[in-house]
Each structure stands twice: as structure tokens, then as C-alpha cells.
Structure 1
Amino acid sequence: MNFINHNIKLLVFAALSSGMFLACAQTKTATSSKPSTETSKSGKVVPANLKWSERMMLSEMHRFPEAWMLDFSKSPKWTYPSAIVLDAAEQLYAKTGKKEYYSYISEFGEKLIKDDGTILTYDLEKYNIDMLNSGNVLLYLYEKEKKEKYLKALQTLRLQIDGQPRTNEGSFWHKKIYPYQVWLDGLYMGMPFYTHYTKDFVTGADATKAYDDVVFQFDSVQKNMLDKKTGLLYHGWDESKEQAWANKETGLSPNFWGRAMGWYGMAMVDVLDYLPQNHPGRARLISYIKSYADAIIKVQDKKSGLWYQILDKPLEKGNYEEATASAMFVYTMIKAVNKGYLPKSYKAYAKKGYDGIIKNLITVDENGVVNLNKCCAVAGLGGKPYRDGSYEYYVNEEIRSNDAKGTGPFILASIEFEK
């Protein structure tokens, strides 16, 4: 922790500070237990003359001095939100060469992976697809550091894919405790890791089989979860049609939750980073991105550029412009434009969303620390207490500031705009 704080201190002293900001209220932001000392001569923890990507990254590192703390974790545990911010840290390190970003990632791996390759708090037998996402951090660290413990941990996570229960047609269940259920979230949690692992470690017929399996997951979702009228996708699908939240005829959950759609978009653009150029599924994935972008543009607020917690019901009581989904949509679209998956004309919609986030959802404290407000903390289906997928359920879930599921995509989107 001291190493990171020392590096932030060096960075802050080296940068020229500019701009004065009024302190703005925020909800539920985590802070280090020690008083902050890493301030520049102007009193700023985070200099205002840096680009938004670094300003938010340094703010997250200030709030959560160790990466396992991201998303308000009280003790080190293997979960998925840290990996999104650390993905951004990888890109910032590559862009700037600033060692504090690498240290932030490296210390996460050191903390969560024991010397024998055991993953802290991880239980393979739960077959929870969320647990694969932080494997992306280990793929990066193994590439950089070649530590045997990371390879062993990666092989354990890959074993989960082999055992992950599936629907009758072959879609991964979200978790073992959610039988026959496919959630949009799961495509982001599992498929970039599955594809990246395959690219790094698998060859020949086994690699082809794995890539085909990844693309099939998206094909299945498009077939079973797409609403042909709006082009939006439902949050969940229960093949057995037994869940109380599931439509008895279609098995679909009743609403279009913003972040579920956000996860799905990020999954597509990130998987394409690792899917071979000559794979026949690439063209289909790119066509799905186009259909997806067209659908989210239709429900983008014309004035603010933002998106709502429930995408197609902006005027209903309790609905609100939600930060995590907005950041995810912006990231998906601007990355897709930069990569050539979408025509350049789509950049205008991404930019409108990005500007809307900065204008309406970002606040900056007097010390320069940047906050992202109006993040939905969590939402799901089923479980105990039972989550029924109703409109009322989604709009009444906790709202907080500086959720990694929003700050991570915001940094990633910022990096894409800064290219």
C-alpha cells in the first residue's frame, strides 16, 4: 500500500495542477483508513490537468489503496468487479509507463493467489461464472511475470469451464444454484477469459472447438433472449420456465435491465480482441454489435445522452439515469467504432453519452478526487431473498457512488476517446 501511495505522491508532485473545483456530495465512497498525505502543492490528490482516464484511475487508487478493496470489499476475496478497473490499469500502464498502475495490478495477484496456486475464497464446485472474470488479471500477470502460481490458478479456472453446467442446447448456466438459467451478465464474466485463455494456451483442433463454443454462447443468447421488436435483450432466460420471474411461455425475465445489456455489449467487443481474424463467427458477432448499438441508441435519452436503469421505461416512477450501464454502452460503442466494427457515424452517440456522464454523473471533490454517482450497486434474479425481475425490484435496488462496475467502464471508455 505504501508503495502505491508513494508512487501516486511522486506522480502528483510531477504533474502541473490546474483548475479549482467545488466539493460535491457523494454517497458511500470508501476511503483509506489512513489520512491522505499524497497531495500536491495546490492541495490536489488528483491533478486536474490529467486526462479523465488517469483522473478516475488515481481516484479509485486513492479510495481503494489495494485493488481487492474495489467495489467496497471489506477483506480480500475472489470476485469480479476489481478485474474491470484492473483491465483499465493495464491499458494505462501500457499507455503511460507509470509503475504505480502496474504495482496496483501486481499486488492484487500477490494477495489473491497463494504460492501453491490456490485462489483465495474461490470454490470451483459452486460453478459461478462470475468467478472467471478476474482470471483476465492473471492472464496479464502470467504473461508479464511468468509465475507458476498464476499458471496453476489459471488452469483451475479453465477447469471450471469444462465442468460448468449447461442448458440442453449448450449455454452456460449462470451458477450451479441457478439451474437452466442464462443471464446476460455471464457472457462478460466468462467469454473474454475463455477466448483469451484459448489464444494464449490452446492450439489446433482444441482451440477451434473452444472458439466455436464461445461464439455459440452469443448465438444462443441472440436466439433465446433478443426482443425482435426493440432489438433489446432480456436480463435472464430460464430454459426450464420454472422460475417465478420467468415467462411461462418464453422463459424470459420481464425487463430490459441497463447493466445486463451493458455487460453483453462489453463481452462482444472484448471477445473480438482474442477471436482469430479468420474465424467464421467474427462476422456474426460484429452483426450482433450493429443490431445492439441500433437498439441502445433508440433508448438513449435525447437530452442528457444517458441511459436508464430500465431501458425502455424512462418516464415511469422511480426510474433514473444510471451510471454503470451508461458507461458500458459508451465503452462498447466507442471501442467498436475504433476497431472498425461500427461505422464512424456511431461515434457521435458514444460521445453524447460520454459527455452526459461527465456533465451529469461526475463530481470532483476539492482535493481533485473524481466521483461517479448514481451507480446501481447490484441486481440479479432469484436467490434469497427472492428477486422477481419486476420493474419495482430494479429501481429500488441500492444506488451508490464509485462502484467499480461503473468506474472501470468509464476509464476504459475514456482511454478509447483519448486514442
Structure 2
Amino acid sequence: MNFINHNIKLLAFAALGSGIFLACAQTKVATQTKTATSQSGKTVPTNLKWSERMMLSEMHRFPESWMLDFSKSPKWTYPSAIVLDAAEQLYAKTGKKEYYDYISDFGEKLIKEDGTILTYDMEKYNIDLLNSGNVLLYLYEKEKKEKYLKALQTLRLQIDGQPRTKEGSFWHKKIYPYQVWLDGLYMGMPFYTHYTKDFVKGAEATKAYDDIVFQFDSVQKNLLDKKTGLLYHAWDESKEQAWANKETGLSPNFWGRAMGWYGMAMVDVLDYLPKDHPGRARIISYIKSYADAIIKVQDKKSGLWYQVLDKPLEKGNYEEATASAMFVYTMIKSVNKGYLPASYKTAAKKGYDGIIKNLITVDENGVVNLNKCCAVAGLGGKPYRDGSYEYYVNEEIRSNDAKGTGPFILASLEFEK
């Protein structure tokens, strides 16, 4: 009975939410989709590739890019950047200006003329907040606006002050002392590497690249389960957290999306890490052992992955969209880039087809939905998240979360190459 009521509430909320989005931005949606609608009679034409169909669906749902994380007002947050990364690639591929405008609008709304970042607070030392710096690196390259450069320099300063474990791994946030989360590698390292490539030279650049590779070395050393090849969600160096194993400091479970973040972090960092850096081969070796481990827990029938990776048959577990999309993206990009042998494409394609068959629905107007996304999961905080199996499977599930739609578009683009 509770489950039914919960779903009714979710449907009501979704209907209300879409009403708000449409009401406040009808003009913009009309402009953006006018051409498409006139061509096919649908808001999102069904004769396009999946990458564009999902991107246009996101733009329809969230007419302004700051809305992508279900935000009610402009806020500096990380999920928008994943979809906007995909928009950059779509713009490069198609030349359609609406994709560029969608990205540019994010910078215009979130960065003030003096370079101040709306709602950002460096003192929190929250590594999540570096991820949207990737959007600014792109916009600065294209537009050379001084405000973007100032904002980028602010974010880079956060890295200098980010607290670290005794051996040098970044804490996830200042409020999570001595804790390294897999999520943090994706949130911080592609930005750190890309910024270094664009702005830092000589010995300083080498030092930064060494630091970046070390973050992955440290995770492999401290968070890897040697038996399965999977990595735990987090590690508490102090072993003081209630969720941390008193002997190892590790959290108790293998959460799908945490592993997903880690895979995307590795393949995206390699876009900017110099070809001759000695750490490059190590990261590629980590991708290989990672891919082998996730293929072992891939559902043989559906091709998908579960919210808690190694417990598919336990009560409440479900095939989760964001992790599945992230794994597919990591593998197919690795194959395309030559980090993995071509044989790994089979598992990636099985996962991709599984997403389309089991997790995608298309509305009458052509708008594409990605369902069964875990909304959020973490450790500690208030109320306290204990990292138990029950905790992960009972977090909110929703459709069209940017943490799933973004990786789905990125994976689609890799398959379309």
C-alpha cells in the first residue's frame, strides 16, 4: 500500500514539476523546438539518433540548463555539467546552435560579471563543486570572457586548499574528514587535468599530473576489493565513521553509481593526461581490471547492473539506470580509444541495448525518458546514511536524472562514431 501511495505522490509531483517548468519557460521551449516540431509533428523527432533524441528531451524538460538537476533556481551543482559535456560533443558533431546556446546559457546565469560563482562557497571544500568547472573551460576556450577565467582560477584555488588524507588523497568534503569517496575522482580529476593542460606549463604541470595519477593509485590501493575487483563506495582513513569497517576503514557495499563515477573519471582524465606521462599506462591497466569486474556482475539476461552490484537477488535490489549508463560509456569509450580490446564492445553493447529495451520510454510527443535512476546516495551526514544494503535500495528512485541522461547521451555518441 505504501509503495502505491509513494508512486502516486511521485507522479503528482512530476506532473506539477513539469507544469512549473513549462509555464515559466514556454517561450523558450517554443523557440527551441519549433523547427523540430514543424518537421515531424513531434516535440522530439523520432528519426534522430538516440544522442540527439535524449538531448532534445532534456532541453524540453529543463528549458534552461541550470534546471537540469531539478533545481528551482540557478545553483552551482555538478549534474548539469554531465549533460552539458554531451551537448558540447553534439554541437561539435551537428553544428546546431541550439546546443551551444544551452551550454552558454549555463555560464551566463551562473557566473557574475566579476567572476563570482553563484551559490558557490570555497570554504566548504566540496570536491563535487569542481565538476561544473568543465563547462567553464569549454566556454572560456570558445568565448574568452574574463569572467570565466576568474571563476576557473577560483575553482583551481580550491584544489590547493582541499584537505587531504595523510598519504595525499583529497577528502570528499571538509565536513567528511579523512574520507575518500569514489565519486570524488570524477568530480575533481577531469577538471584538474583539463585545467592543467590549458593553463599550466613545465615543472608545475608535471607536478599536477603526478598528483592526479596519485589520486587513482591511492584509490586502487585503499578501496579495491582484491577478490571481486570491485571498489567500495568510500574509505575512512581515521576509521571513526559508523559506516567504516573498524579494521579497513571501508564502507560495507559496492554501490553501482560510485563505481560508475570512478570509471568515467578514468576515461575522461585520459583525454587530457599527456601521452608520455608514466602514469597513463597504470590508469589504462586499472580500466582493464575495472571492466573485467563489472562484466562479472552484469545481468546475463538484461545486460544491466544493479543498485548494489554484487547482490542482484536480494530483496529490494533493482536494475539501476545511472550506473548502467556510466558502465556502458566507460567501456565503449575505452574500446574506441584503444584502452580496451575490441572484444569488450560486446558487453558494452549488451548494456546499451538493455537500457533502451528496459529503462527507456518514449512519450507520444517523442520525448524520451530514462527511468529507474537512483536520485542520490551518500554516507554519513544528517540524517545518518550508514552504507548498509537497506540504505542503498531504499533511496529515492526517479526518472530523467542528469546523472543518468548525461552518461546515456555520451555512451550513445560513442556508439554512433
Q: TM-score, normalised by structure 1?
A: 0.92
* SS of the residue 1:28 aligns to: helix
Contact 1:22-1:366 within 8 A present in 2 as well: no
Aligned-residue offset at 1:339:
0.1
Contact 1:17-1:49 within 8 A present in 2 as well: no
- CA pair 197-3 structure 1, distance change in 2 beyond 3 A: farther
Number of residue pairs matched by the alignment: 417
- CA pair 343-38 structure 1, distance change in 2 beyond 3 A: closer
- CA pair 101-94 structure 1, distance change in 2 beyond 3 A: same
- CA pair 121-24 structure 1, distance change in 2 beyond 3 A: closer
- CA pair 359-47 structure 1, distance change in 2 beyond 3 A: same
Deviations 1:58-108 (A, max 9, x none): 000000000000020110000000000000000000000000000000010
Take 2:56 and 2:109, find their aligned partners in 1: how far apart are those partners?
Answer: 20
- CA pair 2-381 structure 1, distance change in 2 beyond 3 A: closer
Deviations 1:99-137 (A, max 9, x none): 000000001000000000000000000000000000000
The answer to whether residue 24 in structure 2 is matched with residue 24 in structure 1 is yes
The answer to whether residue 12 in structure 2 is matched with residue 12 in structure 1 is yes
- CA pair 203-20 structure 1, distance change in 2 beyond 3 A: closer
Take 1:24 and 1:100, find their aligned partners in 2: how far apart are those partners?
Answer: 19
* SS of the residue 1:142 aligns to: helix
Take 1:220 and 1:302, find their aligned partners in 2: how far apart are those partners?
Answer: 32
Contact 1:24-1:365 within 8 A present in 2 as well: no
Kindly indicate which of the two structures has a greater share of residues assigned to helix.
2
Which range moved further: 19-28 or 294-303?
Answer: 19-28
Take 2:43 and 2:186, find their aligned partners in 1: how far apart are those partners?
Answer: 33
- CA pair 227-287 structure 1, distance change in 2 beyond 3 A: same
Structure 1: which 5+ residue stretches go unaligned?
A: none
- CA pair 275-3 structure 1, distance change in 2 beyond 3 A: farther
Aligned-residue offset at 1:33:
15
Aligned-residue offset at 1:40:
3.1
Contact 1:308-1:314 within 8 A present in 2 as well: yes
* SS of the residue 1:40 aligns to: helix
Contact 1:262-1:329 within 8 A present in 2 as well: yes
Aligned-residue offset at 1:46:
0.3
Take 1:223 and 1:61, find their aligned partners in 2: how far apart are those partners?
Answer: 41
Take 1:203 and 1:367, find their aligned partners in 2: how far apart are those partners?
Answer: 50
Contact 2:29-2:60 within 8 A present in 1 as well: no
- CA pair 31-13 structure 1, distance change in 2 beyond 3 A: farther
Deviations 1:200-221 (A, max 9, x none): 0000000000000000000000
- CA pair 11-71 structure 1, distance change in 2 beyond 3 A: closer
Contact 2:82-2:402 within 8 A present in 1 as well: yes
Take 2:138 and 2:123, find their aligned partners in 1: how far apart are those partners?
Answer: 25
Take 1:116 and 1:16, find their aligned partners in 2: how far apart are those partners?
Answer: 36
Take 1:378 and 1:28, find their aligned partners in 2: how far apart are those partners?
Answer: 29
Contact 2:371-2:398 within 8 A present in 1 as well: yes
Structure 2: which 5+ residue stretches go unaligned?
A: none
Contact 2:127-2:187 within 8 A present in 1 as well: yes
- CA pair 20-138 structure 1, distance change in 2 beyond 3 A: closer
Take 1:6 and 1:319, find their aligned partners in 2: how far apart are those partners?
Answer: 17
Aligned-residue offset at 1:2:
41
Deviations 1:374-403 (A, max 9, x none): 000000000000000000000000000000
Contact 1:323-1:372 within 8 A present in 2 as well: yes
The answer to whether residue 131 in structure 2 is matched with residue 137 in structure 1 is no
- CA pair 130-180 structure 1, distance change in 2 beyond 3 A: same
Take 1:308 and 1:388, find their aligned partners in 2: how far apart are those partners?
Answer: 19
Take 1:17 and 1:396, find their aligned partners in 2: how far apart are those partners?
Answer: 23
* SS of the residue 1:27 aligns to: helix
- CA pair 2-353 structure 1, distance change in 2 beyond 3 A: closer
Take 1:106 and 1:4, find their aligned partners in 2: how far apart are those partners?
Answer: 41
Deviations 1:34-68 (A, max 9, x none): 9xx97336431000000000000000000000000
- CA pair 5-228 structure 1, distance change in 2 beyond 3 A: closer
* SS of the residue 1:253 aligns to: coil
Contact 2:32-2:98 within 8 A present in 1 as well: no
* SS of the residue 1:15 aligns to: helix
Regions of 4+ moved over 4 Å:
1-34
- CA pair 95-249 structure 1, distance change in 2 beyond 3 A: same
Contact 2:44-2:56 within 8 A present in 1 as well: yes
- CA pair 21-302 structure 1, distance change in 2 beyond 3 A: farther
Which structure has more RCO (C-alpha within 8 Å, separation ≥ 6)? 1
- CA pair 44-14 structure 1, distance change in 2 beyond 3 A: farther
* SS of the residue 1:91 aligns to: helix
- CA pair 238-20 structure 1, distance change in 2 beyond 3 A: closer
Contact 2:182-2:258 within 8 A present in 1 as well: yes
Aligned-residue offset at 1:13:
31
Contact 1:4-1:100 within 8 A present in 2 as well: no
Query: For 2:344, which of 343, 346, 356 is the aligned residue?
Result: 346
Deviations 1:200-245 (A, max 9, x none): 0000000000000000000000000000000000000000000000
* SS of the residue 1:279 aligns to: coil
Aligned-residue offset at 1:10:
33
Contact 1:230-1:295 within 8 A present in 2 as well: yes
Amino-acid identity (%): 93
- CA pair 385-105 structure 1, distance change in 2 beyond 3 A: same
Contact 1:135-1:157 within 8 A present in 2 as well: yes
- CA pair 17-85 structure 1, distance change in 2 beyond 3 A: closer
Contact 1:8-1:100 within 8 A present in 2 as well: no
Aligned-residue offset at 1:29:
16
Question: RMSD of the alignment, in Å?
Answer: 7.9
Take 1:86 and 1:320, find their aligned partners in 2: how far apart are those partners?
Answer: 28
- CA pair 30-7 structure 1, distance change in 2 beyond 3 A: farther
Take 2:375 and 2:90, find their aligned partners in 1: how far apart are those partners?
Answer: 25
Take 1:341 and 1:24, find their aligned partners in 2: how far apart are those partners?
Answer: 45
Take 1:116 and 1:5, find their aligned partners in 2: how far apart are those partners?
Answer: 48
Contact 2:33-2:44 within 8 A present in 1 as well: no
Deviations 1:138-157 (A, max 9, x none): 00000000000000000000
